Structure 1
Amino acid sequence: MSSIPARPFVSIEDYLSGEVESEVKHEYLAGHVYAMVGATNAHNLIASNVLGLLHAQLAGRGCRVFNSDTKVRLRREHGTYFYYPDVMVACTLNPLEETFQDSPVVIIEVLSDSTGRTDEGEKREAYLSIQTLEAYVLMEQALKSAVVYTRGDSGFLRQEYGAGERFELPIENLSLELDRAYEGLAI
């Protein structure tokens, strides 16, 4: 009978220093490190479009938009986690020499066949536990579609949007038009 070898525990310090030198991104889940898969051109185009649209709207304001090279750190009851969201907006910023943000207000993930389940399950649960988070957005790759979770008085509210629609993000005068987010894709 064979057994699956246990993953070795990795300290936060070793993880962060290793990520600086690694050619492959890894997510950190309470002491365990997992390599990330690459993304398709469609995935990157959507994420880049969204990043550009949000950056233009946030120019001259205190909030900043970050791409998938910046991690979000979550300190949860059962350990510390680091994820790489596709797009993230933060208004309370960590020092420039750090490689992560602690207080995002918006997180956007572009779904793929390999990551969709995690983005809609494990990551959604983790992200919605962030005290500063006001919106979590899941965007499809194969069709103009977004599921948006926004913080309400009694928790997060879920809404769906499709082609031709625009939705507001809970930061003053910040919105996303789906047709522009999917510009360059024949869907």
Structure 2
Amino acid sequence: MAEPAGRRMTPDEFFAWQLHQDERYELVDGIPILRHRMMTGSSTQHDQATVNIIASLHTQLRGSGCRPTTADIAIRTGIRDLRRPDVMVECAELVRDTYEAREPRLVVEVASPSTSAVDRTRKLEEYKRHPTLRCILLVETVLPQALLYRRNDVGWAIETFDGLAAIIDLPEIGARLTLSDIYDGLTFGPHWDPAAPQPEG
């Protein structure tokens, strides 16, 4: 595996370089950075939640002009910044041999201990700057909870969804995600009580 170049790269230079790497990188201030989860490996909780989200969105969005993508597709968050969300929904014509989304509407980050702080701070602010993004969804894996940042006329509003009965409506892409679908097959620790009252999303 080639080591990252010592000089800063443009996105085009980065994509040409990434083709020869065995692992996924992001571009941060022009420097290729190994995607954090690749260093520690994704947990089965993280992997299953990601697969569940993609499966649900794929079924709902077929024929709509929108489609879910995996972390293989990047989103440009600055002149020299490229991120790889766990899941993204793009609503644009499919273009062959491209490595970045052109008109993303939704990004989803599934929590991982090694990335949670970055996802909730720097990456969140980067995503908010993208002109076509309408929703940013942060999904927990230690309990059934999600935070949705939705763009409105004055900025971004935050919505919280708790418990397996919660439903996340996403009219921006013509779909919805239920927490029961997101967490299908996952188990939670003894600290989570499914019988406890849950706040409404």
Q: Percent identity?
A: 26
2:71 and 2:184 map into 1 onto residues whose CA distance is 19
1:185 and 1:150 map into 2 onto residues whose CA distance is 26
- The residue number in structure 2 matching 1:3 is none
**Closer/same/farther in 2, CA of residues 173 and 8 from structure 1, 3 Å limit:** closer
1:92 deviates by: 2.0
Question: Does the residue aligned with 1:148 lie in a helix, a strand or coil?
Answer: strand
- The residue number in structure 1 matching 2:19 is 20
2:98 and 2:174 map into 1 onto residues whose CA distance is 28
2:71 and 2:99 map into 1 onto residues whose CA distance is 11
**Closer/same/farther in 2, CA of residues 172 and 26 from structure 1, 3 Å limit:** closer
**Closer/same/farther in 2, CA of residues 104 and 173 from structure 1, 3 Å limit:** closer
Amino acid at match of 2:56: L
Amino acid at match of 1:119: D
Contact residue 150 and residue 170 of structure 1 kept, 8 A = no
- The residue number in structure 2 matching 1:48 is 51
- The residue number in structure 1 matching 2:171 is 170
Deviations 1:79-132 (A, max 9, x none): 321111000001124622111113210000001111011110111101011111
Question: Does the residue aligned with 1:100 lie in a helix, a strand or coil?
Answer: coil
1:22 deviates by: 0.8
| Number of equivalenced pairs | 179
Amino acid at match of 1:124: L
Q: Which runs of 5+ in 2 are unaligned?
A: 1-5, 189-201
Moved more, 163-172 or 99-108: 163-172
Amino acid at match of 1:23: D
Contact residue 136 and residue 150 of structure 2 kept, 8 A = yes
* RMSD between superposed Cα atoms in Å: 1.7
1:10 deviates by: 2.7
Deviations 1:52-81 (A, max 9, x none): 00111101111111011111123x3xx321
Deviations 1:1-60 (A, max 9, x none): xxxxxx532343331112112111110013111111332221111011000001111011
TM-score normalised to structure 2 length: 0.84
TM-score normalised to structure 1 length: 0.90
1:20 and 1:168 map into 2 onto residues whose CA distance is 37
- Runs of 4 or more, structure 1, over 6 Å off, are none
**Closer/same/farther in 2, CA of residues 172 and 21 from structure 1, 3 Å limit:** closer
